[in-house]
Chains A and B, each alone.
Chain A
């Protein structure tokens, strides 16, 4: 019954996904195997797992940047293979185009699809305002702090009005204080846009704070170990971090990941012994 319900409103479906990387010196690594997941329309889903489990790979497959060995990636019931403007992505590294101002960066997508100059400007202004960068329209990326660059990157991805927003540890390179501010900002932005989001992180607290549902991945080869619902009320603020419910859910996810991290560690140990 639940599965049926999911199918009805599924925005993104990954079925039996398998991703294989060829090693440079021959041999293959199965990064992701047998992975199934669904993201519903307007849902915020986080994907967590031990490092090296292939969670970023899953995101790159959805974005069309990495080809899977087999399996299906469907957005609104249609297979996707190539990258496209319907799946916006925010990376962990700073990826603003250094030769464009904040305005130019946010306009990049609308310009590509041939929007009029007026429309480009007004769209860019709206999203720059949404992420709190008004006044910095004409600044170059090198003049911005890391947190500001990531805010601009979020605005740039949103300006395309994508069907789904893919976020690959977007706050991973920021210091703890800035990361908290960014999480609050993202919650606020999400309240206003209600985008469908698939968010990859290794930070459990971040995942539980942001998500409606958290998928926990196994150690390599990555597959879904289990999912945890996060029925915390919205709109959320960082105050939820102290709620009993929050702490309980966080503990659940933490235990589950710990098992996998230990497995990954053991596998790494035996691998290094074999060398």
Chain B
């Protein structure tokens, strides 16, 4: 019953949005320059698929986002866990991280272009900086919030510090880690598009900017759809992984 209610809600909102879109465009209320019609968007999607530019640009964006985010995750997860566990590491890392994370990464793009150029490496760097500092703090929070009684009960079962760390603390952080990886992946899309809008020769952000220059509003809409779909796809992959890899997690 609950699921049916949910699905009918989804169907209702989708129908309303589509109806409004149809009325506004085919009814001639809004000019195609500002809001293209559904059929216009589909046509331009087919064109972009045929000439390959949609695939090329989506692929370029995906490579950048996955590598930047993966680098950040590999560095931030261990550091965050240590930071939440050891006071010394916390003192070492926290002041720097706290400072940097309030600098919007978009403010650093000009500097990064100066240092690295406008290629793939610069975009990867933008995503790395944008997600790494946030992720370290989120993971540190997860590991600091592992139940003290859980750790203590391991000690009373005869575990020593090292064992408690590897066999209790680390597994206890996993659901929180996966959750935060999913959330930061969402943010990474924002940083990527900003970086591509500033300077790029490929990518979905570049496709949007290029379409705007030629007043191809329908192409802008195609790009937006693709970004939304990819975001949704990643979210679903993470939730699926959470269920598959951590079937014991209380969060699912």
Contact A65 B248 (CB under 8 A): no
Q: Which of B153, B154, B168, B172 has the most CB of A within 10 A?
A: B153
Interface residues in B234-252 (C-beta closer than 8 Å to A): 246-250
Q: Which residues of B contact A91 (CB under 8 A)?
A: 149, 152-153
Within the complex, the shortest CB–CB distance from A80 to chain B, in Å, comes to 12
Is A63 in the interface zone, CB < 8 Å from B? yes
Contact A97 B150 (CB under 8 A): yes
Is B163 in the interface zone, CB < 8 Å from A? yes
**Cα distance A89–B149 when bound, in Å?**
10
**Cα distance A89–B147 when bound, in Å?**
16
Is A157 in the interface zone, CB < 8 Å from B? yes
Q: How many A-B residue pairs have CB under 8 A?
A: 70
Contact B157 A108 (CB under 8 A): yes
Contact A88 B149 (CB under 8 A): no
Is B26 in the interface zone, CB < 8 Å from A? no
Contact A160 B147 (CB under 8 A): no
Q: Which residues of A contact B174 (CB under 8 A)?
A: 99
Chain B residue, CB-CB nearest to A143: B248
Is B155 in the interface zone, CB < 8 Å from A? yes
Q: Which residues of B contact A166 (CB under 8 A)?
A: 156
Given A98-B249, A99-B174, decide whether A93 and B147 contact each other with a Cβ distance below 8 A. Answer: yes
Is A246 in the interface zone, CB < 8 Å from B? no
Q: Which residues of A contact B228 (CB under 8 A)?
A: none
Contact A109 B152 (CB under 8 A): no
**Cα distance A157–B156 when bound, in Å?**
8
Is B28 in the interface zone, CB < 8 Å from A? no
Contact A95 B249 (CB under 8 A): no
Contact B158 A84 (CB under 8 A): yes
Q: Which residues of B contact A109 (CB under 8 A)?
A: 157-158
B interface residue count range (under 10 / 10 to 19 / 20 to 34 / 35 or more): 20 to 34
Q: Which residues of A contact B158 (CB under 8 A)?
A: 83-85, 109, 112-113, 160
Given A97-B150, A98-B250, A142-B250, decide whether A83 and B171 contact each other with a Cβ distance below 8 A. Answer: no
Is B97 in the interface zone, CB < 8 Å from A? no
Is B144 in the interface zone, CB < 8 Å from A? no
Within the complex, the shortest CB–CB distance from B180 to chain A, in Å, comes to 18
Report the count of interface residues on A (CB-CB < 8 A): 28
Is A147 in the interface zone, CB < 8 Å from B? no
Is A18 in the interface zone, CB < 8 Å from B? no
Given A85-B158, A112-B163, decide whether A95 and B248 contact each other with a Cβ distance below 8 A. Answer: no
Given A93-B147, A97-B150, A112-B163, decide whether A88 and B157 contact each other with a Cβ distance below 8 A. Answer: yes
Given A91-B149, A93-B147, A97-B150, decide whether A83 and B247 contact each other with a Cβ distance below 8 A. Answer: no
**Cα distance A89–B153 when bound, in Å?**
7
Chain B residue, CB-CB nearest to A88: B156
Is A136 in the interface zone, CB < 8 Å from B? no
Interface string of A101-123 (1 = CB under 8 A from B): 00000001100110000000000
Chain B residue, CB-CB nearest to A93: B149
Contact A95 B157 (CB under 8 A): no
Given A93-B147, A140-B248, decide whether A99 and B156 contact each other with a Cβ distance below 8 A. Answer: no
**Cα distance A142–B175 when bound, in Å?**
14
Is B42 in the interface zone, CB < 8 Å from A? no
Q: Which residues of B contact A93 (CB under 8 A)?
A: 147, 149
Q: Which residues of B contact A52 (CB under 8 A)?
A: none
Contact A83 B248 (CB under 8 A): no
Q: Which of A63, A108, A153, A156 has the most CB of B within 10 A?
A: A108
Binding site for B on A (CB under 8 A): 63-65, 83-85, 87-89, 91, 93, 95, 97-100, 108-109, 112-113, 140-142, 153, 156-157, 160, 166
What are 6 A-to-B residue pairs whose CB atoms are below 8 Å? A64-B155, A89-B153, A89-B156, A93-B147, A99-B172, A113-B158
Binding site for A on B (CB under 8 A): 147, 149-150, 152-159, 163, 168, 171-172, 174, 246-250
Across the A-B interface, the 6 shortest Cβ-Cβ residue pairs: A85-B158, A83-B155, A89-B156, A95-B153, A140-B248, A109-B157
